[in-house]
Structure 1
Amino acid sequence: MFASQDIEPIKSNIKRPRILIVEQDELHWTWIQQAMAEVWSEVLLVRASTRSQVHKLAKEWVNTEWEIPKLILADLDLPDQQEGWRLLSELRMMEEPFNQLPIITMSQVDSLSAISASYRLGCSAYLVKPGSVSEWLACLRPLRAYWWDLATTPILRLGL
C-alpha cells in the first residue's frame, strides 16, 4: 500500500498531467509555451531538446511512473529529420508504457515522404509546425479536444 507521501506526487500528476515537448528551436519553444498556457493550462510542460535528454527523462520516469507524460509532441528536426525519426523509432521500441504513448511528430516539412516515414515509424499524428503564436493557438485547440477530451489512450488507463 502507498504511504501518504507517495500518493501526493500521483495526485499532482492527475491534477497537472505532463506533456513532453521535444523541441530544439527556442522561438518555437517560446510560441508553444505561450499557446499552451492559454489552451492547455492544466498541463505541466516538460522540455527536451535532444534525443539524449529524452532518454535521460525516460530512465528517470521508469521509477516514477506518475511523472510519465500523457502525450509527446516531438520535433523531427533534431537537428535533422533522420535524428527525429531515430528518436521516434527508439520510443516505439521502449517497454511499456513508453511505447504506447501518443506521439505527435512536428516538422516544418510538408512533404508526403516525411509524413509517410513518420507514420511508418509509429507516430500517432503528424503536424506541420505553425509559424506564430496565433497559429499555434489554432492548432492546439483541436489537438487538446481530441487527445484530452475524446481519445482514450493506454497510458491514461494505468490508474494514475
Structure 2
Amino acid sequence: MILRLIFKHLEIFTEMIPLEIIQKNNQPEILLVEDTPEHIEAVVAVLHENNFRIRIAKKWSTALELLSKHQPDLILLDIYMPEMDGFELCKTIKSNRAFSSIPIIFLTASNDEESIRKGFELGAQDYVVKPFNTSELLARVKTHIKLKQQTESLKEANRELDSFCYTISHDLKAPLLSINKLIEYLIADYRDKLDSEGQELVTIIQEKSVEVIAIIDHLLEFSKMCEMPMQNEVIQLEHLFLDVYNELIHLHGQRQVKLNLKPLPNVNGDPVMMKMLVSNILSNALKYTRNRELAIIEVSFSESENEYIFAVKDNGVGFDMRYSARLFGVFQRLHSQNEFEGSGVGLAICQKILKRHNGHAWMIGEVDKGATFYFSFPKQAAGANT
C-alpha cells in the first residue's frame, strides 16, 4: 500500500526535481509514459532497483512538458494511451529535431506483426510485450541506453576530429615539415663550416623539430577519439613542470617570471600526453602574464581519498567568469588575436587529455586579477578512457 502511494505521487515529485540536480546525477534517466498503475509499479520497481531514475507521464501532454524541461536517456512508451496513442506521440517526438535521437521502446500488450512494424516505421528502437519479463525489459533498456551513449560519443568525436585535423594538418604540420627539411639542407651543406657549438645547436634544433612533428602526429591520432593505446608510466609531475617551464621560458626573452613550484606527487599517465598537458597550461600562464612587470606562476596541489587536485595560478589578465563555459571549446577564445595570439585549441586539448586519464579541468578567474587552472587526476593508474 505504501509503495502504491509513492508511485501515485511520483509524477508530481519528479516534476519538482531541480534540473541542476538531474544534470549532476550520473544515473541514466528514463521517461515512462504509461497510464496503468499496475504497469507503472512494475516498471518503476525493476528500474529503481537497478539504479535508474524514472520520471512518469500518464498522458501525452505531460510527456511533452517533461521532455521540454529535460531530455531523458530513454523513453518507455505505452501504445494505448488516452487522448493520443503511443504511435502518434512517437511520431510527434521523432519529428522534433531536439528529441529525435532519444531511443523509444514501446510497451504493448499486442504482439501482432502490424503493430510492431508500425512502431519501427515511426522511429521506435524496440518493443517489450506486456506482461513484462523483468530480465528482458532490463536488458533492452540497458542496451539502448548504451547505444545512445556510444552514438553521442561518436558524434562528438566526428565534430572534434574535423576541427583538430584541419588546424593541425593545415596550420601546424606543413610549415614544421618545411622547417625540418630546411634544417636537413643546412646540416648537409654547412656542417663542416660550423664550429662544434654551432653543430650542437643545429642538432638540437633538428631534434626539437622532429619532436614537435611527432607530437603533432600524436595529436592527429589523439583527435581520432583517442583510440590508440595509452602508454601508462609513472610521471614525476614536479620534474615535468620544471622541465617544461625551463624549455618555455627561453622563448620569452628577458621577462621577469617567478615560478613557485610546490612539491608535487607522482602520477600514472601517458608521457607524451602529460607533456602536452603541462606545456599548454604553462604556455597559457606565461602568455597571459606577459604584461606584468613581475609574472608569478604558482603550482600546487591538494588531495582527497581518490584523486589529486592540481592548481596552476597566475597573476595575469584573468577573464570574466560569465564566459567560462566557452573556455574548453575548440576554437573558443576570450581575448582577441591582437591581444594574445593563439588558435583556441589549447584548453580543449587539455580537457581531452585529462578525460583520457579519468580526470577533469576547470578554471576560475577575475578580470585583471589572474586565473587559476585546476585539474583533477586519479590516484590509481589511468585507463583507456575515451
User: If the length of structure 1 is used for normalisation, what is the TM-score?
Assistant: 0.74
Query: CA separation in 1, counterparts of 2:63 and 2:113?
Result: 27
Q: What residue is the counterpart of 2:82 in the other structure?
A: 79
* 1:52-63 correspondence runs (5 A): 52-61=61-70
Q: What residue is the counterpart of 1:114 in the other structure?
A: 115
* 1:25-64 correspondence runs (5 A): 25-38=36-49, 40-41=50-51, 43-61=52-70
Query: CA separation in 1, counterparts of 2:151 and 2:21?
Result: 19
Q: For 1:80-134, what per-residue CA distance to the aligned partner results, in whole angstroms no more than 9, with x for missing partners?
A: 8x611110000001122x1110000111011111111111111011221225xxx
SS at match of 1:19: strand
Confirm or deny: 8 A CA contact 1:70 1:101 kept in the other structure. yes
Cα distance, 1:35 vs structure 2: 1.4
Specify whether residues 129 and 156 from structure 1 end up closer, same or farther in structure 2 by C-alpha distance, changes over 3 A only. farther
Confirm or deny: 8 A CA contact 1:70 1:155 kept in the other structure. no
Cα distance, 1:7 vs structure 2: 7.0
Q: What residue is the counterpart of 1:138 in the other structure?
A: 135
Query: CA separation in 2, counterparts of 1:155 and 1:53?
Result: 27
Q: For 1:21-45, what per-residue CA distance to the aligned partner results, in whole angstroms no more than 9, with x for missing partners?
A: 111000000111111123x22x210
Confirm or deny: 8 A CA contact 1:77 1:84 kept in the other structure. yes
Query: CA separation in 1, counterparts of 2:69 and 2:20?
Result: 18
Letter of the structure 2 residue corresponding to residue 76 of structure 1? I
Confirm or deny: 8 A CA contact 1:130 1:139 kept in the other structure. no
Q: What residue is the counterpart of 1:65 in the other structure?
A: none
Query: CA separation in 1, counterparts of 2:128 and 2:108?
Result: 7
Letter of the structure 1 residue corresponding to residue 139 of structure 2? P
SS at match of 2:106: strand
SS at match of 2:128: strand
Q: What residue is the counterpart of 1:17 in the other structure?
A: 28
Cα distance, 1:138 vs structure 2: 2.0
Cα distance, 1:9 vs structure 2: 4.8
Confirm or deny: 8 A CA contact 1:100 1:155 kept in the other structure. no
Letter of the structure 1 residue corresponding to residue 111 of structure 2? D
For structure 1, list consecutive stretches of 5 or more residues without a partner in the other structure: 1-5, 62-67
2:95 corresponds to 1:99:
no
Query: CA separation in 1, counterparts of 2:141 and 2:117?
Result: 23
Query: CA separation in 2, counterparts of 1:21 and 1:49?
Result: 8
What is the RMSD of the two structures over their aligned residues, measured on CA atoms? 2.6
Query: CA separation in 2, counterparts of 1:94 and 1:155?
Result: 18
Query: CA separation in 2, counterparts of 1:9 and 1:145?
Result: 19
For structure 2, list consecutive stretches of 5 or more residues without a partner in the other structure: 1-18, 157-386
Query: CA separation in 1, counterparts of 2:28 and 2:55?
Result: 10
Q: What residue is the counterpart of 2:304 in the other structure?
A: none
Give the aligned length.
137
Confirm or deny: 8 A CA contact 2:33 2:76 kept in the other structure. yes
Greater Rg over alpha carbons, structure? 2
Cα distance, 1:70 vs structure 2: 0.5
